[in-house]
């Protein structure tokens, strides 16, 4: 209650467009939830179910730690969009030498293609679970549906659809948690107490490495501008920065809850029965005898919603990155935004047809993300620390230290994760 009283006091204003009161804040919820979709995509599902099935509740603390790091990074990149009126791609194109900006942005397009591949693949796996549709046919169906949704609807409608999808994913896990007995005391302790069981480092890196994704940093700096506040008015900008934190914090908290629910479900079912899950299809098959056919269907439907919604946000991010190369904001009606979206989703779908093993496809996508992520994170911190770019809103010394520390940790984890994947493949 103290938090909401403080927010209400800070947001009192005579500007009729920015009414006071905590309820007014909920009008600004949305951009953060689009980022949350990347936090609960099929790649996270695989990591979380693996963590819960093999180590029970022990690795819940990773979800808490990764969420804290994500809040800091996403909050920081959102400030770039608010203060400059530019997305991360536009800012890179404006403030970096062209050769450097082109290299960074095309590598980000590669990461977006990689992300789209994984998200479409996740939706296709869900369709196979539900209707026994072959993976490649399912991938085409998911991609076509996503294209139709993106090219026939405005951003605001897409935002509402994605919020609905996130809500359905959350409700699905609430339903499944009601079917099982959770040891809440043990879970509460595990959320805040770090532990590294023997043989758990790969899963720890997977959970942490899957949280911060390059396309989400580009996405947040773009979609935070969707509210179209008057950023030339400093008083309005100050309030906007505060509204943004509420949106980011609440949205990442929802992501934390859904990711935690995955580990809780896996711990209370598979770990309890001594079953280790290393495949999403396997998870659905094992749930049915343990919790019944309804639970297995709800699981597959939630995965389908996650695959579709995360494919849409990946497409938006790609449109933003590509349009930024031409000093343009994302607008799905504009040719450059359309081309970026088509490249990401289309090439991602094409690569799925070249891969016979879906698991190998996920490994390849993770490898590309692991290589590109350090580039995007350090780009963000450099831009938000520059007074030339941010003016008086540039990162302070301690903020720089914190952001660079997180950037180093996240980058090292992704590089180590990439190396471990290649070791597993060769073995």
* pLDDT single digits (tens) 244-287: 788 888 888 888 998 899 899 889 888 888 888 777 777 777 77
DSSP output for 292-329:
-HHHHHHHHHHHHHHHHHHHHHHHHHHHHHHHHTTT--
User: What is d(CA 7, CA 20) in angstroms, rounded to the nearest whole number?
Assistant: 9
Instruction: Show the domain range for 169.
Output: 30-426
Planar angle of CA 271, 364, 326, nearest 5 degrees: 125
- Burial of 121-157, coded b for 16+ CB within 10 Å and e otherwise, reads bbbbbbbbbbeebebbebbbbbbeebbebbeeeebee
Domain with residue 216: its CATH number is 1.20.1740.10
201 lies in some domain: yes
What tokens does 294 get? 């309804």
Write 245-248 long-range contacts (CB < 8 A, 24+).
Answer: 245/75, 246/7, 246/25, 246/28, 246/29, 247/25, 247/28, 247/29, 247/30, 247/31, 247/32, 247/33, 248/32, 248/35, 248/71, 248/74, 248/75, 248/78, 248/220
277 lies in some domain: yes
User: What is the per-residue pLDDT for 223?
Assistant: 80
Residues 37/221, Cβ–Cβ less than 8 Å: no
Question: What is the tally of structural domains in the chain?
Answer: 1
8 lies in some domain: no
19 lies in some domain: no
| Residue numbers in the chain where pLDDT is lower than 50 | 1-20, 230
206 lies in some domain: yes
210 lies in some domain: yes
* pLDDT single digits (tens) 290-334: 777 788 888 888 889 888 988 998 999 999 999 999 988 888 888
Q: Please state whether the predicted TM-score (pTM) of the whole model is above 0.85.
A: no
User: What is d(CA 126, CA 168) in angstroms, rounded to the nearest whole number?
Assistant: 15
24 lies in some domain: no
136 lies in some domain: yes
What tokens does 76 get? 């920081």
């Amino acid at each position: 209650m103290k938090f909401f009283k403080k927010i209400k006091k800070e947001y009192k204003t005579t500007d009729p467009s920015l009414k006071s009161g905590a309820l007014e804040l909920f009008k600004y919820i949305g951009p953060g939830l689009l980022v949350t979709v990347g936090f609960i995509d099929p790649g996270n599902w695989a990591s979380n179910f693996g963590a819960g099935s093999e180590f029970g509740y022990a690795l819940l603390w990773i979800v808490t730690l990764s969420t804290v790091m994500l809040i800091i990074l996403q909050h920081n990149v959102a400030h770039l969009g608010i203060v400059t009126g530019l997305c991360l791609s536009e800012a890179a194109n404006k403030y970096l030498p062209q050769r450097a900006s082109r290299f960074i942005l095309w590598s980000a397009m590669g990461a977006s293609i990689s992300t789209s591949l994984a998200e479409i693949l996740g939706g296709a796996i869900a369709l196979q679970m539900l209707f026994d549709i072959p993976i490649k046919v399912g991938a085409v169906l998911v991609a076509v549906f996503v294209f139709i949704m993106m090219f026939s609807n405005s951003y605001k409608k897409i935002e509402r659809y994605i919020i609905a999808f996130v809500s359905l994913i959350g409700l699905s896990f609430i339903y499944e948690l009601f079917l099982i007995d959770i040891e809440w005391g043990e879970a509460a302790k595990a959320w805040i107490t770090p532990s590294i069981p023997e043989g758990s480092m790969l899963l720890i890196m997977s959970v942490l490495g899957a949280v911060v994704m390059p396309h989400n940093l580009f996405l947040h700096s773009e979609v935070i501008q969707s509210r179209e506040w008057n950023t030339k008015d400093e008083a309005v900008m100050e309030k906007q920065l505060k509204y943004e934190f509420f949106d980011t914090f609440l949205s990442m908290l929802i992501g934390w809850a859904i990711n935690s629910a995955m580990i809780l479900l896996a711990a209370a079912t598979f770990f309890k029965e001594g079953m280790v899950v290393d495949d999403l299809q396997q998870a659905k098959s094992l749930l049915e005898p343990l919790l019944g056919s309804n639970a297995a269907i709800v699981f597959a439907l939630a995965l389908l919603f996650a695959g579709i919604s995360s494919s849409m946000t990946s497409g938006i991010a790609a449109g933003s990155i590509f349009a930024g190369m031409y000093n343009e904001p994302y607008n799905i009606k504009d040719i450059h935004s359309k081309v970026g979206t088509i490249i990401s989703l289309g090439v991602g779908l094409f690569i799925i047809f070249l891969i016979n093993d879906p698991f190998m496809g996920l490994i390849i996508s993770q490898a590309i993300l692991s290589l590109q992520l350090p580039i995007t994170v350090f780009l963000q911190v450099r831009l938000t620390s520059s007074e030339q770019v941010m003016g008086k809103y540039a990162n302070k010394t301690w903020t720089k230290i914190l952001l660079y520390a997180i950037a180093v940790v996240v980058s090292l984890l992704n590089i180590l994760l990439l190396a471990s994947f290649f070791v597993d493949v060769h073995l």
